[in-house]
Structure formats: structure tokens, C-alpha cells
């Protein structure tokens, strides 16, 4: 198996100066680095690290990722009480602008998958981009109704139950159906 989803980490630093220094080191270390090799158990997507302070955690805006972080964030090293600093946003607090940004990010992933160089992971990365876009369309649809079910399966089920908006892409239902075996495992 190869993980195609990015992994988001938050490194909680003592102050803004420590955050800036850590960002500079991380940038210097990753410039020019490519993705994973795609071997069994490989991480073939970016490892994204945000360097924040406790105050920065407390000021995180209402975004789909913030709602999910509160629900499923884990401390892998350090004081587990840092999670208590996260704001407990309700899905209804996520603005229309944030929902649009969620979809814009997926659009860029779809474009990137379309123009990427051929390689051993190219076709599965393209399929992953389609499935990820489909799942985030489901998230955006539920968020528009003030909801964000906890799992991908629940999001798609709820999005399907909502009245279809005008202009729903024709490929979406097929992508949702194609993603179902992934959460049925």
C-alpha cells in the first residue's frame, strides 16, 4: 500500500521567533525534494508541518480542517493538553469563502494530476485527486447546510441526501461510488 494523502503535522513552538526559525530550517531542507518512491508502505504525498504557538492554535479560524483537527487530532510527542487550546468551531461557522477555498484547492490538485509527468504513481495519484475532490465536494455540500459529518462515508451519504444543486458535475456520483470501497475496507 502507498499513502497518497498528505500528512498534516503541527509543531507547537514556544514563541513566534522559534516558529520562524523552524520554518526557515524546514524550507531549506525541503527545497528541491521530491515525493516518495511509492514502494510498499511509502508516503507518496507531502508531509506538511505547520509551526505554531499555543496562541496560534487558539486563533485558528473556522475551517473544515480546524473542525476535523479538533475531532481527530492526536499528540504524538509532548503534552497532550495542547489540544485543549484549539477552538471548537461548529461546522456552521465555516464561511462560504472557506468552502470555496476547499474546492479551489482540489481543483488545483486535479490540474496538477492532469499535467504531471508519467511515472509509476501518476495514474493512482490522478485517481486519488479525483476521489479527494469528490469527497471535498461532499464536505462543502454538507458545510453549506451547517453540517460536517465525521467520516468520508457519512459525508457522501449526507451530500447525496441533500437536494442536488444546479450545476452538479456529472462525474461526481461516479467518483463517490468509486470511493465507497475505500471506506468499506
pLDDT digits (tens, 9 = 90+) for 141-153: 999 999 999 988 8
pTM score of the predicted model = 0.78
Provide the pLDDT confidence category of residue 168 given band limits of 50, 70 and 90. Answer: confident
What is the per-residue pLDDT across 2-59, written as a single tens digit (0 to 9) for each? 555 667 899 999 999 999 999 999 888 766 454 444 454 555 666 788 999 999 999 9
User: Using CA atoms, how far apart are residues 82 and 37, in angstroms rounded to an integer?
Assistant: 34
Cell of 93: 461557522
The answer, yes or no, to whether residue 169 has pLDDT greater than 50, is yes
Q: Write down the pLDDT at residue 38.
A: 47
Label residue 129 exposed, middle or buried (CB < 10 Å: 0-12, 13-18, 19+). buried
Owner of C-alpha cell 514563541: 15
What is the per-residue pLDDT across 69-122, written as a single tens digit (0 to 9) for each? 999 999 999 999 999 999 999 999 999 999 999 989 888 888 887 787 777 778
Q: Write down the pLDDT at residue 79.
A: 93
The answer, yes or no, to whether residue 172 has pLDDT greater than 90, is no
Q: Which residue has the higher pLDDT, 48 or 181?
A: 48
The answer, yes or no, to whether residue 1 has pLDDT greater than 50, is yes
Q: Write down the pLDDT at residue 173.
A: 77
Amino acid at each position: 500500500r502507498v499513502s497518497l494523502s498528505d500528512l498534516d503535522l503541527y509543531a507547537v513552538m514556544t514563541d513566534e521567533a522559534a516558529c520562524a526559525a523552524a520554518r526557515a530550517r524546514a524550507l531549506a531542507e525541503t527545497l528541491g525534494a521530491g515525493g516518495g518512491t511509492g514502494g510498499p508502505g511509502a508516503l507518496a504525498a507531502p508531509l506538511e508541518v505547520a509551526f505554531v504557538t499555543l496562541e496560534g492554535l487558539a486563533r485558528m479560524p473556522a475551517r473544515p480542517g480546524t473542525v476535523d483537527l479538533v475531532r481527530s487530532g492526536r499528540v504524538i510527542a509532548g503534552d497532550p493538553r495542547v489540544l485543549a487550546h484549539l477552538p471548537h468551531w461548529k461546522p456552521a461557522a465555516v464561511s462560504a469563502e472557506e468552502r470555496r477555498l476547499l474546492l479551489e484547492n482540489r481543483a488545483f490538485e486535479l490540474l496538477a494530476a492532469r499535467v504531471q509527468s508519467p511515472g509509476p504513481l501518476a495514474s493512482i495519484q490522478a485517481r486519488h485527486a479525483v476521489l479527494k475532490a469528490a469527497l471535498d465536494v461532499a464536505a462543502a455540500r454538507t458545510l453549506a447546510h451547517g453540517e460536517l459529518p465525521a467520516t468520508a462515508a457519512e459525508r457522501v451519504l449526507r451530500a447525496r441526501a441533500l437536494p442536488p444543486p444546479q450545476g452538479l458535475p456529472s462525474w461526481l456520483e461516479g467518483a463517490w461510488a468509486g470511493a465507497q470501497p475505500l471506506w468499506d475496507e
